[in-house]
Chains A and B, each alone.
Chain A
Amino acid sequence: MKNYMKMEFSARLENVTFARGVISSFLLNNDLTLNTINEIKTIVSEAVTNAILHGYQNNPVKLVDMEVEIEGNKLIIIVHDDGIGIDDVEKAREPLFTTKLREERAGLGFTIMDVFSDEMEVISAPNEGTTVICTKYLENVQ
């Protein structure tokens, strides 16, 4: 059985907490382990933080959207912004690459999303926004 949700929210950092809360509530009936839930929350946290800080440069007027789909044991998380986009996606995906060293960003967002997902796709171009699609195969899904 397939279950799906989509939501849109202001590009404000406090909504990172909100987005994490939403996905864990959405998956509540799937009986996931605490460890799996934490991995999923981490993926969402990194993707949404990136959309707000990088995509929208912290502009709270803008909107981030998140879609979640679960079918069988396959979970797909899509986080999208219409922000400034990424010049070089390959470089951005490298561990420790950051454009915000002064703000103490570790440059590990994509690395962590990649490790916690089974597949990660990043679609972006300068001034054309960014879409991150993470697919994760869950164990012991009811």
Chain B
Amino acid sequence: MTLKVEMFIKRHVLYVRFDGELDQHNVESLRVRIIELIDKYLIKHLVLNFSKLQFMDSSGVGFIIGRYNRLKRDNGEVILCAMNPSIKRIVMLSGLSKICTIKADEEDVNTYLGVA
């Protein structure tokens, strides 16, 4: 597989740590799993940790917008952290930076959410 993900839940926050490359091929199965978890565990916020993500194209953008639309219904947020410069550029270019909260790393996210 070109993408590995590690997921865990802490107080209605779903954390997803990415390792590898995110494109249309692997985004589809990931979407199904994450939608299931959000509904099953009443997830309020979604944290996407990109520290080991080497590549992302517009497939990733579509995926993030989809989750944002779902979570904002319950006043939740999508929080992105630890992006490399190339991924940051896609995030800025696509306007995701206007709808998602961006943090330096997971520790910053925890402080922000008060789940540290």
Binding site for B on A (CB under 8 A): 13-14, 16-17, 20, 34-35, 38-39, 41-42, 45-46, 49, 52-53, 103-106, 108-109, 111-112, 115
Contacts and interface: CB of A to CB of B under 8 A. Distances in A.
B55 A41 contact: yes
Interface of A, secondary structure class, is helix
Interface of B: 2, 21, 23-25, 31, 55, 57-59, 61-63, 65-66, 85-86, 90, 93-94
Contact of B31 (A20, A104, A112): A104
B23 A39 contact: no
Contacts of A42: 55, 57, 86, 90
A108 B24 CA distance: 13
A17 B21 contact: yes
A42 B2 CA distance: 15
Nearest to B20: A17
Nearest to A43: B57
A21 B65 CA distance: 27
Contact of B58 (A17, A34, A35, A108): A108
A17 B25 contact: yes
Name the 10 nearest CB pairs between A and B, nearest first: A38-B86, A13-B25, A106-B62, A104-B62, A108-B58, A106-B61, A45-B57, A104-B66, A49-B24, A106-B58
